[in-house]
Chain A
Amino acid sequence: MSIYHDLIDYLKESPLIIQILWIMTGLFIIIIIFLIFRLRSLRKGLRSKGRTIALYEKKYEAYLLNYLYSESDEEISASQKVIISQLKKSTKDPFIRKILLSLLVKLKQEVSGEISDSVQRLYFQIGLVDYAVARLYHKKWYVIAKGIRELNQFQVKAAHDDVMMHINHPRREVRKEMQLYMVNLFHAEGLNFLAQLEMQLSEWDQIQLLRVLQQLENQENLNIKSWLKSNNHSIVCFALKLAEIYSDIESIDEILKLLHHIEQRIRVESIRVLSVLNAVQAKYILKADIESRSTEEQIAFFAMMENLFDVSDESFISAYVDHPVFEIKVSALKILKVINRAKFDALKTESTDPHFLRIITFIEKN
């Protein structure tokens, strides 16, 4: 007891700052001890949950295996019917439903052919599809997103309208899943959702859609022209990428109109795509008003000229060899080197600017 009293006396006699420090130290020790116990209990809980999941997985793996390898002349054998009925009952419990679903997904991702078809069939037979569709009407966005992903994995085309209603969902994750569902299941036709999309299609969304489209065998029926007319600027950008990737020459007239689009990003992108599509008409349109365009457009135009120039462009190009913008100057010099080598060589002797001469030497060698 005397130690306790000594400590109290020591604290009382200490300056205020020392008292506060001791109190805070005590508090931290209590918090740390509490957290250690909490962590231990969490780890114990997780281990126990893991063991339960492993047990259930073993149990349902056996069910699935019996289902997959039950042979019968009938479409569904008697033993399969029993398994379906048992699994149907089990899926009423959300915990077991989750385990069962993860087993089906894991198997579907790893096998193809008859087994994959059987897994797909079982998914419908035990009613998991109904739970997935019900998720689409949930309040929480991540439940909706998971539901759409599941319908995509199990190729549930019948849920098209239920999925489509999330086209303009405020959460990007939901929209992304919805878009992937459409393209994966309905291929080029699935992209028709673009006509109704009011939200922005991010660069990442566009990359994912392009990745799926490139895996498809049939890439016809892409309605690129109509997407180029969209009021949603992100869709126009995506349509420009499609026109470039699929060399859609039929879209050239529509892309030419985009040279006067309200947004600079689209004008610049249009110039680049027209260059890839070798649209010479674009050169004449841009030559007429290039001075009134932004520097980015001018740079894009000169990059295009490197691809589409002809000898008649010499006087136009010559006017830009001294342009203050480096990219424009380099493009003009590159073109001049091809159109009129003598004139290009003469620039070397005419100029005394070391920076300009370095550019000339570099172009000469490359």
Chain B
Amino acid sequence: MNSAKKIVLAEDNSMLSMVLKFRLEKEGYKLLVAADGKEALELIELHNPELILTDIMMPFVSGLEVISHVRNKLNLQTPIVVFSAAGQEKIVLQAFDLGATDFMTKPLSPNELVLRIKRLLR
């Protein structure tokens, strides 16, 4: 399990975090869960994950700020997948401008997420 790829998941819905953590750990990834953007940044700096999954709307530090910090302050090229809700198209475009790699609209399918992660970490 030492070789398990690390993924930081930043999501304020604890139930969704648990569901995704369980599903992705079943696929062999190591999940580091953050309840907000601030916690996510701490985990990213501490563990240097292979992938970042982040919700856009979060308390304290938003998903956009997480992307900006990773790309501009930490200068990391780690793939970042953002979760957005319907109607947040403009924010998704902003996320891509800041350096997001991919996005998924909520409600999201855990199975589809697994496929995307596999593709990104190939």
Contact = CB atoms under 8 A, between A and B. Distances in A.
A114 B19 contact: no
A69 B18 CA distance: 11
B22 A110 contact: no
A140 interface: no
Contacts of B28: none
Interface residues of B, number: 16
Given A68-B19, A69-B22, A110 B111 contact: no
A112 B107 contact: yes
Interface in A94-131: 103, 106-116
Contacts of A68: 19, 22
Most A CB within 10 A of own CB, among B13, B15, B106: B15
Nearest to A64: B15
A106 B18 contact: no
Main secondary structure of the interface of B (DSSP, over half): helix
Interface residues of A, number: 18
Interface string B1-44: 00000000000011110110011001000000000000000000
B15 A113 contact: no
Given A103-B15, A107-B15, A65 B107 contact: no
B31 to A, nearest CB: 13
A61 interface: yes
A327 interface: no
B22 A107 contact: no
Given A65-B18, A103-B15, A115-B19, A109 B106 contact: yes
Interface string B45-77: 000000000000000000000000000000000
A69 B108 CA distance: 17
B18 A111 contact: no
Given A65-B22, A69-B22, A109-B106, A114 B111 contact: yes
Interface of B: 13-16, 18-19, 22-23, 26, 106-112
Interface of A: 57, 61, 64-65, 68-69, 103, 106-116
Sorted nearest first, the 4 A-B pairs with minimum C-beta distance are A113-B109, A112-B107, A110-B16, A107-B15
